[in-house]
Amino acid sequence: MVEIFRSMADLQAQLRPAQLKRETLASRHSRPVRLIIAVPDTASSRRALRELAPLLERTMPVRSAEIWAALRAGRVIGGDGIAFVRPRMLHR
């Protein structure tokens, strides 16, 4: 399950509903459902996440590079994590 957060206003408040949604989906399936939070790859997003590093290390341990590598290879993502998404370049 992927949740997209365009801004990092209050990650703790944003994270809880996403976790509840994932738990609901998981209760309907016999396999694990992973939660991936997609956030813009910006300095402000990275700063906001750094401030919550201890919480995220416990709850969202899979790093962005691991998530992208698994997606590219078609492998299972082994846990919940945060994926940084680069905005597309604007066309000139």
pLDDT of residue 14: 85
Which whole number is the average pLDDT over 42-54? 88
In 1-92, which ranges are continuous DSSP H helix? 11-27, 43-51, 53-59, 64-73
Q: Give the separation between CA 75 and CA 38, rounded to whole angstroms.
A: 18
Q: How confident is the model at residue 89 (pLDDT cuts 50, 70, 90)?
A: very low
Closest CA to 70 of 59, 82, 78: 78
Mean pLDDT score, 5-33: 86
Of 5-14, 38-47, 57-66, 78-87, give the lowest mean pLDDT range: 5-14
